[in-house]
Chains A and B, each alone.
Chain A
Amino acid sequence: MGGCVVSSFIFATARYESGDWDSAPLVPPNIIDTIARYTSIDVAPTGVVVPLGSPDLARYPLVFLTGHLPVRFTRDEREQLARFIERGGMLFVDDHNHDIDGAFHKTATEEIRRTVGPLTELPNDHPLYSTFFHFPDGPPNTGHELNGWGDNLLHKHLLAVQRAGRIAVLYSNKDYSSEWGYHPDNKRFLAVDNTRFAVNIVVYALTR
């Protein structure tokens, strides 16, 4: 968990006890690559894994959480996450199943509601969609939402828990974990970089 001692931004993935927290191991380096490509943000070259139930969660004010399996927070995880959000941290959750009837979505939304409050739809003209790149139609769709698995739906909105007008928990059913789960070197094969929305999320977290 080392990384740079004095670095502006270290991408952190939350490790929680109940499920496959590491189902998207290539998302962190891909996002790090994206941040470095488009911004001058001082970012660490590797990500870290931080236990959701550990006080170390507070070292990383933006934390990414994903998985396929049900999410059931332990008491420590709930306490640390509540404290983390209360103090200004931001959690980005992505349903790797992209299934609103699936166990991840149902359990994760329940745990989030229990811990910090209910998720509500984020309007598609929210500043998140213009923080760096512009997404006039809201969250960019992924190539996995209609792949026949999951709920096979296009999810028009992201969900969020807000605190004092700021996004504290950002929740996605759009399976960005699959969309961004490739080696960053493979970006060169893409006509349009499909990770640009990650820049918006990180810049939002760092500036709002």
Chain B
Amino acid sequence: MSAHARVTRTRAVLALTALLASLLRGAAVAALVFVLAGAIDWAVGLERSARVVVVPTALVVGALVTFVSLWRARRALKLGAVALWIEERTPVLRYSLVTALEPAAAGAALPDLERAVQRAHWGTPVARTALFVLGMPALLLLAALALRSLLPAGVVSRMETPRAGDALEHPRSAAVAGANRLTPLVATVTPPAYTRREAVTLEEPSSIAALASSGVRLEGRGSAEGITAALGGEALEVTGTAERWHVIFAMPARAAAVRLAHGRYSRMIVLEPRPDSAPMVTLASPARDTVFREARGRLELDARATDDMGLTALWLEYIVSSGEGESFTFRSGVAARRAARNARAATLESTLRIDSLGLRPGDVIHLRAVAVDGNTATGPDTGVSETRVLRVARAGEYDSLAVEGAPPPEADASALSQRMLIQLTEELERRRPRLARKAVVEESRRIGADQARLRKRVGDIIFARLGEAESGEESGATMPRPSMTPEELLRAADEATAGEGAHALDFEGDETPVVAVNRPLLEAYNAMWAAGRELETGEPGAALPHMRTALAAIMRAREAERLYLRGRPAEVVVDLAKVRLAGDIDSASASARTPRARLSRSAAGRVERLDAALIALRTDPAAAVDSLALLRVDALAEEPRLARELAAAVDSLRAGKDATTPLARARRAAAGAPVVRAHASEWGGAW
């Protein structure tokens, strides 16, 4: 084998050695990092957020060490350096190896040099070096692994797979007699199966919020002996092994507290149940009540439902009422149905053939969508949509001259309120010369606020009729802008009422009935906007013409209203003077009244309890914290703000932090802010 070949082979051996050594070093360092973190966790207990990064950190550090080591050993890849290294350890070569590797330099002496190289042997130093280079990191790695094996199994698993609830695996435990077995405490909350949600694990919980009927398992280290648990006054069974105790219960329907006790130690956990919401159902089609000329045609049905957990079914049900006067018959049925298979949203579209219902003139159909969720824990919840009333007209109803409409109470009330606002504004305008400008503006704005409220009510009436839009003041596209002309308003109303389906009754020409009815209300709405603007700028005089226009429009809406096609009920006015005390009351005697109870949700009672707990904080902080936690349980349903502040205060106190601010806020939430008056009245009390 030539010198070159032999050096090349040696280079390969050295390179491999360097690689292995680098890997061993990296592994050893990574193992040492792991062991060090484990030792710290064993000593003081690391948070899960810190343990999660231990393994990745160890790997990164190990990789770094490997890389640096490899980099430093890169010389082993160069033939010349390897040759020099061999020369250094094989003096007999006398640089013949290095020279032989450079034929140009060797020249004619190359054969002699080759012979000299052949006579030399450097296997032993190579082997010794390899042993040494590999041995140290290998020993280090072995040592690290040995140290790892000395770590308690719980620590190793906490380092390798940190997860919620592994606090119980920490070796610092209640093995010592008399130690507190209520900490560490782990709670596992398993939602009801129908929710298909994962269980959640909490460490050292002071409160648990979960769906009502969720399964709750509290677990701690040590045996169950001597540990008691009670939920709302009822004892719970505490069981377990020598290593672990646990108690299992279901999340109650109302807020409560679980008390744990072990000797002189005690612990309280607040339970905050969350109810499963009922499904939300909307009936998109038909969009509004309708009257049919004839009982035939097709009605498109479109229902939608959503649920927080999952739906099981969605259907459309109807009730057909037939008859008149005092004699009615009813039949009900399901127009369409579908299974929802636990989907969180479902739609049901169908077509109802009107003639399939066998309807007669005068019949009324009540149609609605119903959805049921999959709540198997507390019973399925049912959600229903708004009901649509569909009526088949009677023959005589087409003669509009024969029908009087019942007056619409909304317009009546609006007219009454608008009249009053006009009176107030006129009065203000009369007093205006005697008032300061500031007072005029203030009073004008107050009237303007009332005008705005009235305008909103008129808007609600309009938009309730145009479709299912929420109040016009809050909804989006269909809301009329304040600056719309009456023509624009009517066009918006026309667009909003366009739709398919059976023809509705009561329209003139090419107007839809909703537009015909609402035209004056839309004008009133616009006039109220204008009046509101003037009132807001403190110009009551300028607002009056608009307000009178609005009133006139409302009065016209009264006359135009024809939604109730039944006859106006005959009004009977009782002659009170004639009949007053004309009856025989000899047998009458009023029974005694019994008092109403003081309101149970007594704010005063909570204030007293809070004050008592605050006083107790100075002398018995642990008991005071428990009192605050119990008060929070009581306040959860009726005073959520107080409950929130108490939660913050309890958490701060348990963590040993300053709780002054949350306690002050809790006190204000319980007692309300003090009422300050800018003068001390000579009367006292509330004045």
Q: Taking the complex as a whole, does A directly touch B, i.e. does some CB pair lie under 8 Å apart?
A: yes
Stretch at the interface among B57-65, B131-139, B326-334: B326-334
Closest to A34 in B: B583
Please report the C-alpha to C-alpha distance between residue A1 and residue B583 in the assembled complex, in whole angstroms: 28
Chain B 554-582 near chain A by CB (<8 Å), digits 1 or 0: 00000000000010011111111001111
Q: Secondary structure at chain A's binding surface: helix, strand, loop or mixed?
A: loop
Chain B 241-263 near chain A by CB (<8 Å), digits 1 or 0: 00000000000000000000000
Please report the C-alpha to C-alpha distance between residue A132 and residue B179 in the assembled complex, in whole angstroms: 70
- Interface residue B203 (Cβ < 8 Å from any Cβ of A): no
Q: In chain B, residues 578-626, which have Cβ atoms closer than 8 Å to a Cβ of chain A?
A: 579-583, 585, 587-591, 593-594, 596-597
- Interface residue A109 (Cβ < 8 Å from any Cβ of B): no
Q: Of B386, B571, B581, B597, which one neighbours A46 at CB under 8 angstroms?
A: B571
Tell me the smallest distance from the CB of A157 to a CB of chain B, in Å: 19
Closest to A13 in B: B569
A184, B386: Cβ atoms closer than 8 Å: no
Chain A 180-208 near chain B by CB (<8 Å), digits 1 or 0: 00011000000001000001000100011
B569, A38: Cβ atoms closer than 8 Å: no
- Contact residues in A for B580 (Cβ distance below 8 Å): 36-37, 40
A40, B321: Cβ atoms closer than 8 Å: no
Tell me the smallest distance from the CB of B535 to a CB of chain A, in Å: 22
B597, A165: Cβ atoms closer than 8 Å: yes
- Interface residue A153 (Cβ < 8 Å from any Cβ of B): no
Q: Of B327, B585, B587, which one neighbours A149 at CB under 8 angstroms?
A: B327
Tell me the smallest distance from the CB of A43 to a CB of chain B, in Å: 7
A45, B597: Cβ atoms closer than 8 Å: no
B416, A1: Cβ atoms closer than 8 Å: yes
Q: Of A26, A56, A103, which one neighbours B319 at CB under 8 angstroms?
A: A103
B321, A1: Cβ atoms closer than 8 Å: no
B409, A54: Cβ atoms closer than 8 Å: yes
B585, A183: Cβ atoms closer than 8 Å: no
Please report the C-alpha to C-alpha distance between residue A208 and residue B569 in the assembled complex, in whole angstroms: 32
Please report the C-alpha to C-alpha distance between residue A42 and residue B432 in the assembled complex, in whole angstroms: 39
- Contact residues in A for B571 (Cβ distance below 8 Å): 46
A70, B319: Cβ atoms closer than 8 Å: yes
Most chain A CB atoms below 10 A, which of B384, B572, B589: B572
Tell me the smallest distance from the CB of B561 to a CB of chain A, in Å: 13
- With A32-B574, A70-B319 already in contact, the answer to whether A133 and B588 are too (CB < 8 A) is yes
A46, B321: Cβ atoms closer than 8 Å: no
Tell me the smallest distance from the CB of A54 to a CB of chain B, in Å: 6
- Interface residue B368 (Cβ < 8 Å from any Cβ of A): yes
- Interface residue B406 (Cβ < 8 Å from any Cβ of A): yes
- Contact residues in B for A184 (Cβ distance below 8 Å): 572, 574, 579
A18, B387: Cβ atoms closer than 8 Å: yes
Q: Of B332, B387, B583, which one neighbours A193 at CB under 8 angstroms?
A: B583
Q: Of B326, B332, B389, which one neighbours A17 at CB under 8 angstroms?
A: B389
A103, B368: Cβ atoms closer than 8 Å: no
B572, A29: Cβ atoms closer than 8 Å: yes
- Contact residues in A for B588 (Cβ distance below 8 Å): 38, 132-134, 199
- Contact residues in B for A69 (Cβ distance below 8 Å): 321, 328, 364, 366
- Interface residue A79 (Cβ < 8 Å from any Cβ of B): no
- Interface residue B413 (Cβ < 8 Å from any Cβ of A): yes
- Interface residue B412 (Cβ < 8 Å from any Cβ of A): yes
- Interface residue B88 (Cβ < 8 Å from any Cβ of A): no
- Contact residues in B for A142 (Cβ distance below 8 Å): none
Chain B, interface residues (CB within 8 Å), range: 35 or more
Please report the C-alpha to C-alpha distance between residue A193 and residue B587 in the assembled complex, in whole angstroms: 13
- Interface residue A94 (Cβ < 8 Å from any Cβ of B): no
Please report the C-alpha to C-alpha distance between residue A183 and residue B569 in the assembled complex, in whole angstroms: 13
Please report the C-alpha to C-alpha distance between residue A54 and residue B566 in the assembled complex, in whole angstroms: 21
Number of interface residues of A (CB under 8 A): 59
- Contact residues in B for A32 (Cβ distance below 8 Å): 574, 576
B366, A70: Cβ atoms closer than 8 Å: yes
- Contact residues in B for A199 (Cβ distance below 8 Å): 588
Closest to A2 in B: B416
Tell me the smallest distance from the CB of A82 to a CB of chain B, in Å: 15
- Contact residues in B for A2 (Cβ distance below 8 Å): 412, 416
- Interface residue A74 (Cβ < 8 Å from any Cβ of B): yes
- Contact residues in A for B387 (Cβ distance below 8 Å): 18, 70, 72, 74
Most chain A CB atoms below 10 A, which of B332, B579, B596: B579
A103, B583: Cβ atoms closer than 8 Å: no
- Interface residue A117 (Cβ < 8 Å from any Cβ of B): no
Chain A 11-52 near chain B by CB (<8 Å), digits 1 or 0: 000010111101001100100111011111001011001110
A38, B328: Cβ atoms closer than 8 Å: no
- Interface residue A66 (Cβ < 8 Å from any Cβ of B): no
A18, B326: Cβ atoms closer than 8 Å: no
A40, B332: Cβ atoms closer than 8 Å: no
- Interface residue A97 (Cβ < 8 Å from any Cβ of B): yes
Q: In chain B, residues 401-445, which have Cβ atoms closer than 8 Å to a Cβ of chain A?
A: 406, 409-410, 412-413, 416
- Interface residue A107 (Cβ < 8 Å from any Cβ of B): yes
Tell me the smallest distance from the CB of A140 to a CB of chain B, in Å: 14
Please report the C-alpha to C-alpha distance between residue A70 and residue B389 in the assembled complex, in whole angstroms: 10
What would 27 A/B residue contacts be, using CB atoms closer than 8 Å?
A: A22-B566, A26-B572, A29-B572, A29-B573, A32-B574, A37-B581, A38-B583, A38-B585, A68-B321, A68-B323, A68-B326, A69-B364, A69-B366, A72-B389, A74-B386, A75-B386, A97-B328, A103-B366, A127-B591, A130-B591, A131-B590, A132-B590, A133-B587, A134-B589, A203-B590, A207-B593, A208-B593
Known A19-B389, A36-B579; further 15 A-B contacts with Cβ < 8 A? A15-B409, A26-B572, A29-B573, A29-B574, A34-B583, A49-B409, A74-B387, A76-B464, A96-B326, A127-B594, A130-B591, A133-B587, A149-B327, A184-B574, A207-B593
Q: Nearest 8 A-B pairs (CB), nearest first?
A: A72-B387, A37-B583, A25-B569, A29-B572, A103-B330, A130-B591, A38-B583, A70-B366
Which residues of A are at the interface with B, using a C-beta cutoff of 8 A? 1-2, 15, 17-20, 22, 25-26, 29, 32-34, 36-40, 43, 45-46, 49-51, 54-56, 68-70, 72, 74-76, 96-97, 102-103, 107, 114, 127, 130-134, 149, 164-166, 178, 183-184, 193, 199, 203, 207-208
